[in-house]
Amino acid sequence: MQTISLASLKRTLSPTAVELAALPPLALYIHFPWCVQKCPYCDFNSHTQKGGLPEDEYIAALLADLESCLPSVWGRPVSTIFMGGGTPSLFSAGAIDTLLAGIRARIKLLPDAEITLEANPGTFEAEKFAGYRAAGVNRLSIGIQSLDDAKLKALGRIHGRDEALAAVEIAHRHFDNFNLDVMYALPEQTLAEALADIDAAIALAPPHLSAYHLTLEPNTLFHRYPPALPDDDLAADMQDAIEARLAAAGYQHYETSAFAKPGHRARHNVNYWQFGDYLGIGAGAHAKISFPDRITRQARYKQPGDYLARMAAGSAVQTEETLTRAQLPFEFMLNLLRLTDGFALSLYAERTGLPLPTVLPQLERACSEGLLEHDGDWVRPTDQGRRFLNTLLERFL
């Protein structure tokens, strides 16, 4: 007579229990919630700076937040750090140096770790680039959005074309690796204007370029007062033409909105898209942490004042949940199907702790509809699947 262990029985009965043979790579995300002003299209957790920044208090809170995470990741090395916002470049180079030194004292940071900081191209921020590099930042992500002054004004940006060009020049001087964010389908933008923008960005020779379609997100000024945007057909023409321009310039299109020269893919973001783990510290930061028997998510309080007060009291975690087995197929595909190269089928079991048959019917349906293609042990979105990504993802809900 076969006996069933108590551990096996618990896994069978629990809707959240999984079996991970190995834990995925671990990254660290750090959120800086302040901006000079809120852009009308932005739905990120960002708040207009009023008065001086509480640099010392916030850096101390971030390090205390990291310490509170350590018991859940003992012994696991961190391979990438990403400082996002908001506008992290509002913080001084000295504050970033203190933060990175404190991180190194608390966790095992791999010697070749990618350390990215998001930066605005304003003169005030660009002057700090050399200091960030000296502090240990080895990759910048610069939000130029456009190199057309009229479009920048329409987007509510506080910098102009000249400031953007100067910031990129300084970035080239201090960094071997940086990204430029560019947007298309902007208010009243023509195809010629979109291509002029992308050509101007290519001419700046960034190792990595992100090209985002402007969308009207809920709880933004643009959503309440929509500007005149290109229609869907024109936006699709822009996307096709931009992708062709970037391919011709030697950029590899490796994710929905990401293009990189060989060897310059954003390692931190690739970890997200491959359903890796990440600690999230700072106001509004999110985290995903795997354990041998479960996968959890956390979110911290969003308002900067609330976050600081909660950390002073011991913890700023607002919500924490363990993902159910029913949620995991969609959670996995939500990330992996953004990769244009697709993924090895073996990664599904490796990162979710679930056997492949739990998702095979959905994969087969998507293949039959022309949204996915299956090549041996590899699956990738078709051109149609990439264009209609939301339809593809719905197959896994």
Fold of 18-271: pyruvate-formate lyase- activating enzyme (3.80.30)
Confidence at residue 38, expressed as pLDDT on a 0 to 100 scale: 85
Q: In what order do the strands lie in the sheet with 372-375?
A: 343-344, 378-381, 372-375
CB 20 within 8 A of CB 291: yes
Amino acid at 157: R
Q: How far is CA 218 from the centre of its chain?
A: 19
Confidence at residue 216, expressed as pLDDT on a 0 to 100 scale: 87
Q: Any residues with CB less than 8 A from the CB of 213 and at least 6 apart, and which? A: 183, 184, 185, 235, 239, 257
**How many C-beta atoms lie closer than 10 Å to residue 369's C-beta?**
15
Confidence at residue 13, expressed as pLDDT on a 0 to 100 scale: 59
pTM of the predicted protein model: 0.94
Confidence at residue 9, expressed as pLDDT on a 0 to 100 scale: 46
CA distance 255 to 264: 13
Q: Any residues with CB less than 8 A from the CB of 324 and at least 6 apart, and which? A: 15, 16
Amino acid at 74: W
Confidence at residue 11, expressed as pLDDT on a 0 to 100 scale: 55
CA distance 287 to 229: 34
In this prediction, the residues of the chain whose per-residue pLDDT falls under 50 are 1, 9
CB 162 within 8 A of CB 205: no
Q: Any residues with CB less than 8 A from the CB of 285 and at least 6 apart, and which? A: 29, 30, 31, 299, 300
CA distance 232 to 100: 43
CA distance 180 to 193: 18
Phi-psi map region of 353: left, alpha, beta (phi>0 left; psi -120 to 50 alpha)? left
Confidence at residue 124, expressed as pLDDT on a 0 to 100 scale: 76
Domain ranges (residues) in the chain: 18-271, 325-397
* Cross-strand pairs, 281: 30
Fold of 325-397: Arc Repressor Mutant, subunit A (1.10.10)
* Three-class DSSP labels, the chain: CCCCCHHHHHHHHCCCCCCCCCCCCEEEEEEECEECCCCCCCCCCCEECCCCCCHHHHHHHHHHHHHHHHHHCCCCCEEEEEEEECCHHHCCHHHHHHHHHHHHHHCCEEEEEEEEEEECCCHHHHCCHHHHHHHCCCEEEEEEECCCHHHHHHCCCCCCHHHHHHHHHHHHHHCCCEEEEEEECCCCCCHHHHHHHHHHHHHCCCCEEEEEECCCCCCCHHHHCCCCCCCHHHHHHHHHHHHHHHHHCCCEEEECCEEECCCCCCHHHHHHHCCCEEEEECCCCEEEEEECCEEEEEEECCCHHHHHHHHHCCCCEEEEEECCCCCHHHHHHHHHCCECCCEECHHHHHHHCCCHHHCHHHHHHHHHCCCEEEECCEEEECHHHHHCHHHHHHCCC
